[in-house]
Structures are given as structure tokens and as C-alpha cells.
Amino acid sequence: MTLVIVVVVAIVVIVAIALIVSYNRFVKQRNLIQESWRQIDVELHRRYDLIPNLVETVRAFAAHERHVFEEVARLRTQAVSAEGASPEQRAAAEGQLSGALRQMMISVEAYPQIQSNQNFLNLQRELTDTEDRIAAGRRFYNANVGDYNTRVESFPSNLIAGGFKFEKAGYFEVKDESVRSVPQVSFGTIGSVAGEQAPPQMQPGHQSSGQIQPQMPGTEQGGYPQQGQPQFPPQGQSPYAGQPPVGGPPAGAPGPQDGQPPFTGGQ
């Protein structure tokens, strides 16, 4: 009887410890998600502060692009007002704002005087750095959300999640189609560098530069036999008649005298 009580108590203690560990892990993951989201929110606010200065700088050189500036200002106000929304709603608002900023930058390319303005270049650099930090924070946040949501749905941790109201977290995903689109690749000029012409193709009968190709007897330039001549040398005659052997003396040189070793081409 005593042994049964000890076993039951041990099981209860093990289950209680497992529940505590699982619950504490849920709390830790939830706090990590909140902290990573706060880091993204800081960078988003920094972008909100940079956009008005950037718009005013561009407006001074391209005042007639009024519709582009108004759209950026409207979407910035919309993104700021969505601060208390869910990550999915924030992501949708930020995606629209990013698209409007990209459209404004495309319009700026038509004004070389803006590209040489130092104030614009500094703001553009700061905005680019901010976008990079937002992208890095988004990856870290989504990774934490993925781990947390996996535990919420997995057994037996889903029992703890259901009992203590741990709900799934939302992702901060990019909704901009231009970011998700696959770049178009052309394979029409394989082997050539962009801006350079592809090397010309060799035509039959033409030798490539830098290479020496022997011409067979009875053939004309290009390797084709001349009309009226056989393709092979006459019977009984070597195709290398009149040519010096490899490593031997020149053609027409006197042969070795009696008692002298033959010429071998070496020293």
C-alpha cells in the first residue's frame, strides 16, 4: 500500500513539474514575441519620421508630382493610425506605404538635380538602412511566432495552451507583390556578359584565330578537297612525303655516313 502511494505521488509530482515547465516556456516565448515586435515598431516609427523630410526635399525639385506626394502622405497617416492593430493589419498598411514610396523614388529618377542633392542622398541612405533593419526584425519576429504557434498546436503542449488561453500569434508578412515577384531571367545570351556582344559563331571552312590546323594534301583552304583531286594520296605514296619526320633532320639533308650513328634529334 505504501509503495502504491509513493508511485502515485511521484507521478503527480512529475506531471506538475511538466505543467510548470511547459507553462513557463509559453510565457517566455510570448514575451520574446512581444519584445521582437517592439523592435520592429521602433524602426517603423523611425521611418514615419523620415518620410515627411524626404517628401519635402523632393517636392522642392518636382512640385508637379503632387499626386505622388499626397498618396505617400495619406498612406503614412493610415499606417500611423494602425499602430494598435494586429500584425497582419499593420503589415497590410506598411505594404501599401512601401509601394507608394517606391513609386515616388521611380518618379525621382526623371530629375537628375534631385539625385545630386546631398540632403536627399542622406535621407535616402537613412531610409534604406531603416528598411533593412525592419526586414531583419521581421525575420526574427516571424521565426519566434513560428516556434510559438507550433507549440500551441502540438500535443501535449496544446492542452496547456488551451487551459491557460495561449492563442496563436500573427505573422508580420510582406504583402507587396513587387517584393514577392520572381525576377525575369533571359537566357538568350548565355556565355556573354551584359552589355557585351556574344562571340561570333564559326562558319564552316574558317579557322579560329590563334589555332593552327594542318592542311591535308589535296585539300584547299577550309579543309575541303579540291575538285578533280582525290581525297587520299596516290597508292604507294606516303601522305607525309616531302615533309621532315618529327624530331629528324630537315628535308634534303645528307644521310649519315657509314660508321656514324643515325640522327635521333637529341643531343
Run means of pLDDT, 10 residues per run, the chain, 267 residues: 88 94 95 95 94 90 84 92 88 91 87 86 92 94 96 92 92 65 38 44 47 48 48 52 51 51 48
Domains of the chain are 7-164 (1.20.1440.20)
Write down the pLDDT at residue 177: 52
Write down the pLDDT at residue 23: 95
* CA–CA separation, 23 and 25 (whole Å): 5
Q: Give helix 118-153 / helix 2-59 axis angle, nearest 10°.
A: 160
Write down the pLDDT at residue 198: 44
